[in-house]
Amino acid sequence: MENPFDRPPINVSAALTDGRVPKWRKDYLASVSAITDEKGRLLESLRTGEDPTIRDGVNLALSRLLDSEAPKDSFGKATFLVHDGTGTGKSFQAILAAKALAAETGEPALITTRADLIPALRRDLTGLASRTPKSLLSRSNSSERF
């Protein structure tokens, strides 16, 4: 049985729209930095597009959220939904998007998670956050600020 996880996940959106998924123009992850070689490798692999899943997700989300023309809900908020299956890197995308949004707007992002993150991810998160200007990190039981 072939292991499907040796390849990037299926792009269901592309299949649904016959490939008419908008393309991102700006790489918002370029502003996200790491503090150690190990984390640097992760970010580097995201940037080089070894597996485009995370980079595409973050950049498409930010393209929408930072677009002044984007539709707003009844509370005046622009919204983006990443409907990715288990194991595609949603938690990484969430953290990197928070970091990129904070860097882009100069305002902290509030991120909520329901459970504890895996230890390695939490370490990466702490490492990323500690490089954020003006020390925007604070922590409560279930939320992180960047």
Chain centroid to Cα 113, Å, comes to 14
d(CA 96, CA 91): 9
The answer to whether 76 touches 40, Cβ cutoff 8 Å, is no
5 binds another protein (CB under 8 A): yes
Q: Least distance (Å) from another protein to the CB of residue 137?
A: 14
Nearer to another protein, 115 or 135 (CB): 115
Nearer to another protein, 30 or 61 (CB): 61
Q: Least distance (Å) from another protein to the CB of residue 11?
A: 5
Residues between 25 and 44 that touch another protein (CB under 8 A):
38
Nearer to another protein, 13 or 33 (CB): 13
- Residue 11, phi then psi, degrees to nearest 5: -85, 95
The answer to whether 49 touches 57, Cβ cutoff 8 Å, is no
The answer to whether 22 touches 33, Cβ cutoff 8 Å, is no
User: How many residues are recorded in the chain?
Assistant: 146
Q: Which of 30, 47, 120, 139 binds another protein (CB under 8 A)?
A: 120
One symbol per residue from 72 to 111: x for binding another protein (CB under 8 A), - otherwise; what is it? xxxxxxxxxxxxxxxxx-xx-xx--xx--xx-xxxxxxxx
The answer to whether 66 touches 107, Cβ cutoff 8 Å, is no
Q: Least distance (Å) from another protein to the CB of residue 98?
A: 5
140 binds another protein (CB under 8 A): no
For residue 75, what are the CA distances in angstroms to 71, 82, 111? 11, 20, 19
Nearer to another protein, 33 or 117 (CB): 117
118 binds another protein (CB under 8 A): yes
